A and B are shown apart, each in its own frame.
Chain A
Amino acid sequence: MQSDQELILQFQKSIQREETFTQLVKKHQAKVYHQIKRMVNDHDDADDIAQMVWIKIWNKLDGFKMESEFNTWLFRIAYNETLNFIAKQKRQGSNTSSTDILDYENTPSHTDAPKSSEIQIKLDQGIKQLPEKQQFVFMLRYFEELNYEKIASITGTTVGGAKANYHQAIKKLEEFLKKS
């Protein structure tokens, strides 16, 4: 399998652009989608945001200078697009979080998963009450297991800021559990 750098160079030299781009998409699509889905909890929304992210990548890939890893750049665009989407939803007054928990319990994929317990619902609610940035940092650290340098680049903050966001998120989750 070709490296990201090789694929990007091929794309920039206009060698089989569509095929090269498709290879890049296939390589990274799952991680990007999952990270977005963790934030928005809805497949259609996650699919729409993921498409927007990849269209942006297609439009800007010619100017990508490899100063950062492609993966980091991709997640940064996904981060911005997701936050924009959530902000837009808030402006339109749409709030899906109350139904998300029900969806979570009735998702077809959950039929073979262990039945949702109280702690499961609390985790879901706890994560949703976090500010978006803390949510994103929490997901990147816990589920994607990224280091703080990468998280800082993705969220446009300092390493210290990223660490503080993660620890604040845990503190808030702890407080949420105590209250509920």
Chain B
Amino acid sequence: MEQKKINTTLEEDQLMVERLFSKEALANYDKSASSVPASYFETFPEKLQQRIANNKPQLFFLTSFGKMAIAAAFLLVVASTFIFLNSNTDKNLELSTITINDLTNDEIEAYVDANEWMAEIDWQSEAFKPDTEIEQFYKDSID
């Protein structure tokens, strides 16, 4: 039954609708859809070409400008990263080449003087923690 319904010809399909609504009503419906302002179709291709022409250079300009902007930003990021990494690498290299023998006694003493009070604070803060076992703490600090 369903199969019979589905395998219908165009005429049968159209007839099914015309039984519900009159053929005239359907024709009028289509006439309404077909109505256009005077000379619409005569002017449409020209109007369309103008729209395409107006869009084209703008799109081209925007596209190329966009590409250039993206490329410039990308190059800037790459260059900045390269410079940043290089400068950091140089500093590391510089630091790694300095050994204790390169430092003068005055420099070492100045460093110890400057950091001694910090070491003291660290020691005291650890020592006065409520769960610190003092014997273990001394042992750890000597080790």
Contacts and interface: CB of A to CB of B under 8 A. Distances in A.
B134 interface: no
B25 to A, nearest CB: 5
A158 B143 CA distance: 82
Contacts of B24: 114
B76 interface: no
A174 B13 contact: no
Contacts of B17: 138, 142, 170, 173
Nearest to A39: B33
Interface in A49-74: 50-51, 54-55, 58
Nearest to A163: B6
Nearest to B9: A147
A133 interface: no
Interface in B1-38: 5-6, 10, 13-14, 16-17, 20-22, 24-26, 28-37
Contacts, number: 96
A141 B13 contact: yes
A107 B32 contact: yes
B41 A123 contact: no
Interface stretch (A25-33, A77-85, A89-97): A25-33
B6 A167 contact: yes
B49 interface: yes
Interface string A10-46: 0000000010011001100110011001100101000
Contacts of A6: none
B10 A141 contact: yes
Nearest to A146: B10
Interface size for chain B: under 10, 10 to 19, 20 to 34, or 35 or more residues?
20 to 34
Interface in B26-73: 26, 28-37, 40-41, 44-45, 47-49, 51-52, 55
Given A127-B29, A142-B14, A173-B20, A164 B6 contact: yes
Interface string B64-96: 000000000000000000000000000000000
Contacts of B13: 141-142, 166
A29 B47 CA distance: 13
Interface of A: 18, 21-22, 25-26, 29-30, 33-34, 37-38, 41, 43, 47, 50-51, 54-55, 58, 104, 107-110, 113-114, 116-117, 119-120, 122-124, 126-127, 138, 141-143, 145, 147, 160, 163-164, 166-167, 170, 173-174, 177
21 contacts: A18-B49, A34-B30, A34-B33, A38-B33, A41-B33, A47-B40, A51-B51, A55-B51, A55-B52, A110-B31, A110-B32, A117-B25, A120-B29, A123-B26, A123-B29, A141-B13, A142-B26, A160-B6, A163-B6, A170-B17, A177-B21
